[in-house]
């Protein structure tokens, strides 16, 4: 992972420094680094002003950054708690006039609801994707890997629900989330060799859905 690809973002954005609160780079358990920009208010001529950033991101083939303002963050903690928890537990600042991410807190009821929504969504979409091509191993693997990556933040959610520190590594998160949830989570880690492994993974998602639905604080 070449983290230096992001390190001059604050320089690229120097013309917008009066509007910026925070520029941070974060990575989840998939180890892909992404950037988040938090403005106090959107800068004038928003689309034109951010073209230098867009060109730099495209040139380096980096994931598109999340670009938001303070009001959006503060009004979205009930809608996207997992996304912001994922950022909060794994970021480094490139610029911090205010460390917005550090100060975020999440209602457990909101976390639980989004965990349920994410698990149900990935159960449904992954089952459908495998159903379309159950005998093409490459496509089955792609569907499972895509689903796993999307569900990783749910693992972090379990620790937030019980007020425990979020582990830094995926293996630690799987082990800890097994203990907290009471579900067997090995399908998050093993290699996909065919549709039987996909079935085990999808069944695991179903078990997690049931556990989260029944969750009592």
**pLDDT averaged per 10 residues in sequence order, the chain, 217 residues:** 69 92 95 96 95 94 95 97 97 96 97 98 97 94 96 98 97 98 96 93 98 90
pLDDT in the model for residue 1:
42
pLDDT in the model for residue 42:
95
Is the domain covering 3-103 a CATH 3.30.460 domain? yes
The residue ranges of every structural domain in the chain are 3-103, 108-213
Contact residues for 125 (Cβ-Cβ < 8 A; gap 6+):
147
pTM for the full predicted model: 0.92
d(CA 89, CA 25): 11
Write out the DSSP string of 140-167: HHHHHHHHHHHHHHHHHHHHHHTT-PPP
Instruction: Name which of 199, 120, 106, 92 is nearest 158 in CA terms.
Output: 106
pLDDT in the model for residue 44:
94
pLDDT in the model for residue 4:
60
pLDDT in the model for residue 7:
81
Contact residues for 118 (Cβ-Cβ < 8 A; gap 6+):
82, 150, 151, 153, 154
């Amino acid at each position: 992972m070449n983290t230096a690809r992001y390190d001059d973002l604050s320089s690229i954005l120097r013309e917008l420094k009066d509007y910026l609160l925070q520029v941070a780079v974060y990575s989840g358990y998939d180890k892909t680094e992404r950037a988040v920009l938090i403005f106090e208010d959107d800068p004038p001529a928003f689309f034109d002003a951010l073209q230098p950033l867009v060109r730099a991101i495209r040139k380096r083939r980096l994931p598109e950054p999340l670009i938001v303002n303070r009001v959006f963050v503060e009004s979205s903690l009930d809608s996207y708690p997992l996304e912001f928890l994922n950022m909060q537990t794994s970021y480094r600042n490139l610029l911090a006039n205010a460390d917005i991410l550090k100060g975020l807190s999440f209602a457990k009821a909101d976390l639980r609801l989004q965990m349920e929504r994410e698990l149900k969504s990935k159960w449904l979409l992954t089952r459908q994707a495998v159903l379309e091509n159950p005998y093409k191993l490459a496509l089955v693997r792609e569907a499972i890997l895509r689903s796993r990556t999307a569900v990783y933040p749910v693992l972090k959610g379990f620790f937030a629900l019980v007020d425990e520190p979020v582990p830094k590594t995926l293996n630690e998160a799987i082990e800890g989330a097994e203990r907290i949830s009471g579900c067997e989570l090995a399908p998050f880690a093993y290699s996909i060799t065919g549709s039987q492994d996909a079935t085990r993974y999808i069944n695991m998602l179903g078990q997690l859905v049931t556990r989260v639905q029944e969750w009592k604080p």
